[in-house]
Amino acid sequence: MKKILYTLLCTLAAMTLTVACDDYLDVTSPSNVDEDFVFSNTDEAYKVLMSCYELFRTPGSAYGTNTVHSNGLFYEILIGGSDSETHPEVYSAQQRHIPEGLYAEEISIDYNTFVSGWGALYMLANRLAIVIAQIETKDGFQSAWDAQQVSTWTQLYGEAVALRAICYHELIRFYGDVPYFDGPIYTQNQTDGVTLSSRWAIYDKILASMQRVEPFMYRLGEGGIGGERISRTFVQAFIGRVALYAGGYHLCRLDIDHGIALERHPTVNSERWNAVYARHPEYRKYFETAKTYLEACIAAPGSARLITADDRAHTDNPFQRHFQYSLDLQVSPETIFEVAETQGIQCERPYAFGRPSNGGNTNASPCNAYGQSRMHPSVYYNDFRNDDLRRDVSITITSSTGAAKEQIQEFAPGARKLGGLVNNKWDENRMNPPYKPERRKSGVNAPYLRMADAILMLAEAYAELGSDGPARAELLKVRNRAFRTDQSSYVNGFSGDALKEAIAQERKLEFVGEGMRRYDLIRTGKLPEKIVALRALQEAMVAGLETNGYYTFPNGNTIPAYIWTKAVNTADLGMSTMLTYECDVPESDPTHPVKFPGWRGQYDGYGAGLDNTNGNRSVAIRGLFRFIAEGSAEANALVADGYAKTAWGSAIVTNRAHYTSDLFRGYTAADYAAGNPPRYLLPMSSETIAKSKGLISNGYGFAQIGREHV
């Protein structure tokens, strides 16, 4: 269960600070009496702040969807739009594939997720501005601030400032240049005359606000502050994240005065939609800021730490240990900040961002899990080394039937058991016990920032600033955690641009399925080239599968058109459980086909008859990484042993468009050759434009009027 039950505080949010809006230009005046009452002491101020956390989390806000972490923008944009992550359905099945795929065609600027994400972030930012203004009036806050002491008041103040900074950071990365408000908005006339602010002006303001408050906050583990609340540790790391974004590449309108001469991307440098792909000419100053605060975070992180050892008796995988904490409804020591969920209340892990299940919506084993988070075949087969402890933890090839039985994933597009390779970091089978009453309510937290992220961001900042030695040292921390052998020789082989790419690749492997890669590629200027490379590699894969029945990737791994599978009872193999861990037996061992790949299987204990002593509930697999020709002596022996030829890569060939030409349909090889920028931003709504009285307009080729307003 949660340490913080945000959901119990919703009614307080409804009674106080009632700034409601259809978008940021619609406001109503809250009661000053209510504000004075709820801020009468730190306990009451804490409750109001917790209601703001709840608005940050909840799918039950006025906008119907969570803005970033579970539904909404995370679900539709982040989790499926990179060279790591993709979606399970065919392109035409969902409108969300249009912006995710960089706009092969237009979509209404009043598309619900665009409008709700914008409105929810502005509503929360304004409520937090009220919280900030109220705390500043309190004598207890002022006395602590003047004395430069950390107190409950200054901690609450810092949380509000940082959460408001998160709102503007998310607005910038999704919408580009947006309106910025320095203080609370109580009446609509306060918005008269507002226009778009340059994103760098906003970056500078939110960075300065966090730099001002972080010395007056508790580090993780101090003052009762855990990973479900914002701490000094998080603020330092988040300053680093925002600074890296500010120093990175952006799609920038040329009809907005940024006060600087934009530095265009060296190769993706053509103008399109009166916009260019560019960065701040003094980008290094932002990397210096990132370095300073990430160094401070890592040097004194409070109770946060990178998990480098596994304290469990049955396995030795410190990477998976971090995710098991969340499945056990505990906050991992690697967490710097995660958005709290409460069991029994709607949340998306593992339903959307975990291992799928074909079970029913209630009382299944496990319940229905859709599996929106999918991975490209080339990531599983080519990006991961075979001895990388992260691969099988992150990506799995099997899912659940919903009756404590394992099933092979299929590459035919669709949901649940269809749609290809799936996110394995969150699997209800690994909860203790799994939450059975209803789907989508397991109570697993939504991650926002963890220690490995801070470490690799620092490595990136060092590398960009030319400090290769320190960059390699930080990279090695994360790399060594992922392997059982020392990786110094691998890391020490990189310098300059090759080192930057190695750090970016490490982030790809470390955070696959966590929605980080899309904007890592955007801000580092790599999105266009990686899109083209992904399509080319998977086109070669399809051609090889079609011609030869298999394809061998550049790293030496082979994906076959068919694999060989059979259902088995793990008890018959001397195994006490259906759940598997890291495979630690040779291929000649009879249990190897069930244990490899690792981190799959089913929970033993769903109910009577749903354990490994009843029926053939697990899948044994042969030939996943090598071609076993039908009719060969090996294949005939497998058939004699009960194995069946099972479609695998052949389904990729059948559905080739899904795995090649439908990927990023809005950005072609011709666009890349022409140096065209990627259009990854979201439009503002027709209501925002109309209420601005001509001061705000959409850029990037988007319409000014929504379809329903025509």
pLDDT reported for residue 281 = 98
- How far apart, in whole angstroms, are the C-alpha atoms of residue 651 and residue 561? 8
pLDDT category, 40, cuts 50, 70, 90? Answer: confident
Is residue 304 packed enough to be buried (19+ CB in 10 Å), middle (13-18) or exposed (0-12)? buried
Q: What's the full length of the chain, in residues?
A: 710
For range 123-149, the mean pLDDT: 95
pLDDT reported for residue 481 = 98
pLDDT in tens, 367-419: 999 999 999 999 999 999 999 999 999 999 999 999 999 999 999 999 999 99
Q: Among residues 382, 90, 272, which one has the least CA distance to residue 668?
A: 272
pLDDT category, 71, cuts 50, 70, 90? Answer: low
pLDDT in tens, 107-116: 999 999 999 9
- Residue 120, C-beta contacts closer than 8 angstroms, at least 6 positions apart: 55, 61, 62, 63, 65, 67, 72
Q: For the whole model, what pTM was predicted?
A: 0.95
* Preceding peptide of 59 cis, ω within 30°: no
> Which H or E run includes 559?
strand 558-560
pLDDT reported for residue 57 = 84
- Residue 517, C-beta contacts closer than 8 angstroms, at least 6 positions apart: 82, 83, 84, 85, 507, 508, 511
One-letter amino acid of 594: V
pLDDT category, 706, cuts 50, 70, 90? Answer: confident
pLDDT in tens, 662-674: 999 999 999 999 9
**Residue 567 in tokens:** 């259902």
pLDDT category, 35, cuts 50, 70, 90? Answer: low
Query: Alpha-carbon dihedral of residues 265, 269, 275, 279, nearest 10 degrees?
Result: 10
For range 49-57, the mean pLDDT: 90
Residues 437, 362: contact at Cβ < 8 Å? yes
Calculate what percentage of the chain has a pLDDT beyond 70. Answer: 92
pLDDT reported for residue 16 = 40
- Does 33 score more than 90 pLDDT? no
- For 37, other C-beta atoms within 10 Å of its C-beta total 12
Distances (CA, A) of 70 to 76, 349, 585, 684: 10, 8, 37, 22
**Residue 132 in tokens:** 């900030």
| Domain-wise residue ranges, the chain | 226-313+450-525, 539-657
- Does 81 score more than 70 pLDDT? yes
Q: What angle do CA 617, 622, 625 make, to 5 degrees?
A: 125
The structural architecture, per CATH, of the domain 226-313+450-525 is Alpha Horseshoe (1.25)
pLDDT in tens, 318-367: 999 999 999 999 999 999 999 999 999 888 899 999 999 999 999 999 99
Residues 245, 173: contact at Cβ < 8 Å? yes
- How far apart, in whole angstroms, are the C-alpha atoms of residue 36 and residue 109? 39
- How far apart, in whole angstroms, are the C-alpha atoms of residue 101 and residue 89? 13
For range 446-475, the mean pLDDT: 98
Q: Which of 53-62, 184-193, 511-520, 607-616 has the highest mean pLDDT?
A: 511-520
pLDDT category, 36, cuts 50, 70, 90? Answer: low
**Residue 70 in tokens:** 């579970």
One-letter amino acid of 490: Y
Q: Judging by DSSP bridges, how do beta strands 562-568 and 618-622 pair with one another?
A: antiparallel
pLDDT in tens, 279-304: 999 999 999 999 999 999 999 999 99
pLDDT reported for residue 19 = 40
pLDDT in tens, 491-547: 999 999 999 999 999 999 999 999 999 999 999 999 999 999 999 999 999 999 999
pLDDT category, 39, cuts 50, 70, 90? Answer: confident
Distances (CA, A) of 353 to 37, 79, 536, 599: 40, 8, 27, 16
- Does 612 score more than 50 pLDDT? yes
- How far apart, in whole angstroms, are the C-alpha atoms of residue 318 and residue 310? 5
- How far apart, in whole angstroms, are the C-alpha atoms of residue 336 and residue 543? 44
Q: Judging by DSSP bridges, how do beta strands 422-423 and 395-396 pair with one another?
A: antiparallel
- How far apart, in whole angstroms, are the C-alpha atoms of residue 96 and residue 312? 41
pLDDT reported for residue 37 = 57
Q: Judging by DSSP bridges, how do beta strands 446-450 and 550-552 pair with one another?
A: unpaired
Is residue 90 packed enough to be buried (19+ CB in 10 Å), middle (13-18) or exposed (0-12)? middle
Helix (H, G, I), strand (E, B) or coil at 568: strand
Residues 323, 307: contact at Cβ < 8 Å? no
Residues 123, 20: contact at Cβ < 8 Å? yes
- Residue 124, C-beta contacts closer than 8 angstroms, at least 6 positions apart: 52, 55, 56, 67, 163, 164, 167
Backbone angles phi, psi at 457, to 5 degrees: -65, -40
pLDDT in tens, 188-234: 888 889 999 999 999 999 999 999 999 999 999 999 999 999 999 99
SS (H, E, C) 610-666: CCCCCCCCEEEEECCCCCCCCCCHHHHHHHHCCCEEEECHHHHHHCHHHHCCCCCCC
Round the average pLDDT of the chain to a whole number and report it.
Answer: 92
pLDDT category, 66, cuts 50, 70, 90? Answer: very low
pLDDT reported for residue 301 = 98
pLDDT reported for residue 38 = 66
